[in-house]
């Protein structure tokens, strides 16, 4: 899932990876949360999914 976050050519894949990471809850790695927050602040098409996932990651 972490490597899929770097696939900016396919925003659907990034969004799906973000969704999968958010479903991990407390098991979501801290590195994933940092990457999700970076995507959320970007202008990428997957920013909304990443913003939601960053809020769920680690909870």
Q: pLDDT tens across 8-54, in order? A: 899 999 999 999 999 999 999 999 999 999 999 998 899 999 999 99
Cβ contacts of residue 56 below 8 Å, gap of 6+?
22, 23, 25, 28
Residue 24: what pLDDT? 95
Cβ contacts of residue 32 below 8 Å, gap of 6+?
1, 2, 5, 21, 57
> pTM of the entire structure?
0.89
Taking Cα atoms as reference points, which of 32, 42, 43 lies closest to residue 53? 32
Taking Cα atoms as reference points, which of 47, 24, 35, 26 lies closest to residue 2? 35
């Amino acid at each position: 899932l972490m490597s899929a976050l770097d696939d900016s050519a396919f925003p659907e894949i990034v969004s799906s990876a973000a969704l999968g990471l958010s479903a991990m809850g407390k098991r979501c790695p801290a590195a994933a949360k940092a990457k999700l927050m970076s995507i959320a602040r970007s202008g990428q098409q997957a920013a909304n999914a990443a913003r939601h996932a960053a809020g769920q990651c680690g909870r």
